[in-house]
């Protein structure tokens, strides 16, 4: 399991991929997975033209097999 700093660093590195094209958007969320099975949801807010990390939570993925 990752610590908060590691989650933020990974999310920050992925952020450019998720920035909305609509410049009036001020919030965004996305999920990412770190192998083998650790999935996190992260939230960002746009503050003074820059996206700032707000929080994260671990997401439980249920195996269906």
What's the CA gap between 7 and 31, in Å, rounded? 11
2-51 pLDDT, tens digit per residue, is 999 999 999 999 999 999 999 999 999 999 999 988 999 999 999 998 99
- Burial status of residue 13 (CB atoms within 10 A of its CB: 0-12, 13-18, 19 or more): exposed
Q: Answer with the residue of higher pLDDT: 46 or 64.
A: 46
Q: Answer with the residue of higher pLDDT: 61 or 54.
A: 54
What's the CA gap between 42 and 59, in Å, rounded? 10
The verdict on pTM exceeding 0.85 is: yes
Q: Residue 28: what pLDDT? A: 97
């Amino acid at each position: 399991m990752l610590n908060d700093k590691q989650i933020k660093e990974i999310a920050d590195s992925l952020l450019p991929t998720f920035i909305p094209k609509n410049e009036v958007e001020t919030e965004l969320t996305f999920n990412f997975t770190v192998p083998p099975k650790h999935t996190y949801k992260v939230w960002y807010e746009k503050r003074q033209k820059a996206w700032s990390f707000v929080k994260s939570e671990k997401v439980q993925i249920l195996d269906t097999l």
